[in-house]
Structure 1
Amino acid sequence: MDEVEVVVAHSERATLRVGGVFLKVDADQARVDAEVEAMSLAPVPTPEVLWHKPPVLAVAALPGATLGRLGGPSTGSAAAWAAAGAAIRRLHDAPLPPRLGRAGRSADALAAELDAECELLVASGVLPADLVARNRRVAEAAFRPWTPAFTHGDLQIAHVFLEGDEVTGIIDWSEAGRGDALYDLATFTLGHEDRLADLLAGYGAEVDLDVIRAWWSLRSLLVVRWLAEHGFDPYAPGCEVDVLRSRM
């Protein structure tokens, strides 16, 4: 009999694996509905939806493996990274979905959220003031006009599967919607800056590298406290705090 593997679990949602099936339990029905809709619209391979009975979504496991994980070594050839970049470009060039995604927050809303979070990080002693201030300045470059794209919204390196140099699927679409394409590129290369050139070779478009760096800082500042409070370790080697330190 297959064992039950807890893939991730916190107060907002949990994902279990039983053999070749992933069971996603989410108390936010709107988030699950958005994920199912995004997978149906995305022009890239996605997991097969086996059934959907709120609050549980069952999807089939994807073949292949990821190119690594945050805090771990990056794997795969330059061609594999380029293939991931090409798949991401197909997504970004697709017709816009109806929903505004996580990557679609306005510059004013992001700036206000970031300022409040930076104050908390310093006041609580979670991060040194100079580290926060330096990364807050770097993050400024993300606050600029951008053309909406079909974005994944949580395109972590662990969410894209490949076999050899072919993308077999992209998982976890609950944050998808209209948004800033460079947010996806920055999320995918967070902690793996050395593979950005390979990814962009497949992406096939010029991007503003200062904005990518800005998103690395911005995303890391916004999630450090949440991760620590939900059982994750942003201080582990290669993870969010190291990303922030690299800007120093």
Structure 2
Amino acid sequence: MMTDVDEVEVVVAHDERATLRVGDVFLKIDADQRRADVEVEAMAMAPIPTPEVRWRRPPVLALAALPGTALGRLGEPSTASSAAWAAAGAAARTLHDAPLPPWPGRSVAEIASELDAECEWLVTNGVLPADLVVHNRRIAEAALRPWTPAFTHGDLQLTHVFVEGDEVTGVLDWSEAAPGDAMYDLATLTLGHEEHLDDVVAGYGTDVDLDVIRAWWSLRSLRGARWLVEHGFDPSSPGCEFDVLRSRM
């Protein structure tokens, strides 16, 4: 039971799911219980800090708030130290070295097909210039290769990584966790914050392909633009996805 709560904060809300903060508890409301199932199981398997599950009553999952603050936000300078970014890279490496979750990940063919459809939508609807889309689609090709599956978070945005000082205190939002490409997690973590890529790589260690990480920057920005627009987010904000695509030119 939660008592002495002064207010309810809407953290994120759209027509698929919503997250509310009530005191020291986050309430995640998701109509797709498959995502919630994955989140709970992935957090139990992950060898890095994750939020404590307080209770679950579908469609609501209650998670304890993590100590510290997010590593940063897309479109804003990060105030976290280089050591904190390196710690995030080390946490990603620990995760990627762990045994794979038992459910399947997405195939290269599936990702490529979705990417092509999103590129066509961007051009057909005049959202972005055709030459910008074509150029970034060409860059993205480097990510569409066979990879050795790793235990990936699947949405390792810097807002999902919490740090206190130079240490990672926990990682949020595991609903996309699956076997996948380790470089995708590193690309998601550093999207729009290329200045911290060296720190993340230093913490991660070996087996990093910088060209593939940059390819995933283009691919993620192209593939996610329509979803962002349709769910009330703005990929054209300074420092966000469209600026990432322009920086590749």
Q: TM-score range by the shorter chain?
A: over 0.9
Matched, 1:52 2:56: yes
Distance across 2 between alignment mates of 1:44 and 1:108: 30
Question: Structure 2 stretches of 5 or more lacking a match?
Answer: none
Q: Which residue of 1 aligns with 2:162?
A: 161
Aligned to 1:77: 81
Q: TM-score, normalised by structure 2?
A: 0.97
TM-score (norm 1): 0.97
Tell me how far apart the structure 2 counterparts of residues 105 and 246 of structure 1 sit (CA, whole Å): 27
Which residue of structure 2 lines up, in the alignment, with residue 235 of structure 1?
Answer: 236
Taking the aligned partners of 1:37 and 1:67, their CA distance within structure 2 comes to 24
Give the Cα–Cα distance (whole angstroms) in 1 for the partners of residues 51 and 130 of structure 2: 42
1:18 aligns with 2:22: yes
AA at the equivalent of 2:133: V
Q: Deviations over 1:40-68 (max 9, x none)?
A: 00000000000000000000000001221
Q: Secondary structure at the match of 2:70?
A: coil
The RMSD of aligned alpha carbons is 0.8
Q: Distance in 1 between matches of 2:214 and 2:167?
A: 27
- Poorly superposed stretches of 4+, deviation over 6 Å: none
Partners of 1:144 and 1:39 in 2: CA distance: 28
Corresponding residue of 1:180: 181
Amino acid at match of 1:56: V
Amino acid at match of 1:62: L
Kept in 2, the 8 Å contact 1:135–1:244? The answer is yes
Distance 1:14 1:152 in 2: 19
Judge conservation of contact 1:126–1:225 (CA < 8 Å) in 2: no
Once the two structures are superposed, residues 77-131 of structure 1 have per-residue CA deviations (whole angstroms, 9 ceiling, x without a partner) of 111111111111000000111022xxx3222111111111111110111111001
Deviation at 1:206, TM superposition (A): 3.2
Instruction: Give the distance between the partners of 2:111 and 2:87, measured in 1 at CA.
Output: 31
User: Structure 1: which 5+ runs fail to align?
Assistant: none
Please state if 1:97 is matched with 2:101: yes
Q: Is the 8 A contact 1:81 1:199 kept in 2?
A: yes
Matches within 5 A, 1:24-35: 24-35=28-39
